[in-house]
Amino acid sequence: MARSTSFLLLISIALNIAHGFVLTRPTPINLSPSTATSLNAAPATKVHILSTESEVNAAVHTIVECAAKDAIAKRGHFALAIPGGSVLKVLSTLDPSFDWPTKTTLAFVNHKCVDVTDVSSAIEAQAREKFVDRWGLTDVISLGGTSDGEKEATEYEAKLRALPESKLPRDDDGFPMFDLCLVGVGDDGHIGSLYPNRDEIDIINGPWITSSYKKEPPGISLTLPVMQRASKTVISAAGKSPKYPNGKASAMRLAIADENVTPKEFPASALRENAVWILDEPNGSEMKEMGLSSVEKAVGDD
């Protein structure tokens, strides 16, 4: 559960004085009606159901490389945020076609508060083992490796805020704008570590990072407005796994098409309007009325 702003501020000041600079958490802001930050489940318009898992992987690979190419062409750097789970498997089969990883800052959509070298539970360790080190990507925003959720959330936000806008741009409201944010969805609708019917999903003003005590050990997560405000947010679901032996067809339908679900009940629905959704046929099987799309259309959808 998130604590008071004043308590977070004291932690932030103490931590950052120790590092030679002072950072304060922003006070809540009144967002304009035109902002992308929303707890409404707006209609999803960027949904692509592809024939196979390999097509989904190919689309995600191309999107990553195109986003990197565009960002580097504009300002010389690429800001990428990734979750754990199946997205790591998708990225593990990507072989960069040019040297974009050397011009990339990598952050995590969510991460458990554990030793970051523990490959059994740390997303960073898993990502390094699967692809980060092979790519030559060295600019990784790491957690401190403690089990203190509040401390890790405050420190992680401080590290992100310390990045210059040439590495991590901000919008007019001061939120970060990752060039690409890859987001996973659980069968209960959680995104990052924003779980159903918990206070973390309601954080839409100010903080970039929140702690999450849904499970032990606790974790940290990007807040909803950060996920929503990325230049491009992509959610993919393909194949099956021991955790999801039947895929995520029901979760995808609830997230994308159910008119009665609310973001509080099913957080992924808060990304309907923002995300590009890329599913294989089994994971899109409860939305057959949408028909099949193509890799080219999925890649070109902004």
What is the CATH topology of the domain spanning 41-300? Rossmann fold (3.40.50)
Three-state secondary structure call for residue 108: strand
The answer to whether 59 and 277 have CB atoms below 8 angstroms apart is: no
- Between 149-161 and 5-18, two packed helices, what is the crossing angle to 10 degrees? 60
List 140's β-bridge partners, or say none.
106
What is the pLDDT at residue 39?
Answer: 65
What is the pLDDT at residue 240?
Answer: 82
The answer to whether 107 and 80 have CB atoms below 8 angstroms apart is: yes
State the pairing for strand pair 209-212/139-140. unpaired
Query: What tokens appear for 10 in the block?
Result: 């004291």
What is the pLDDT at residue 40?
Answer: 67
The answer to whether 86 and 239 have CB atoms below 8 angstroms apart is: yes
Per-residue pLDDT tens, the chain, 302 aa: give them: 444 333 443 444 344 434 443 344 443 333 333 344 556 667 899 999 999 999 999 999 999 999 999 999 999 999 999 999 999 999 999 999 999 999 999 999 999 999 999 999 999 999 999 999 999 999 999 999 999 999 999 999 999 999 999 999 999 999 999 999 999 999 999 999 999 999 999 998 889 999 999 989 999 999 999 999 999 999 999 998 787 877 899 999 999 999 999 999 999 999 999 999 999 999 999 999 999 999 999 999 98
pTM: 0.87
Burial 283-300 (b: 16+ CB within 10 A, else e): bbbbbeeeeebebeebbe
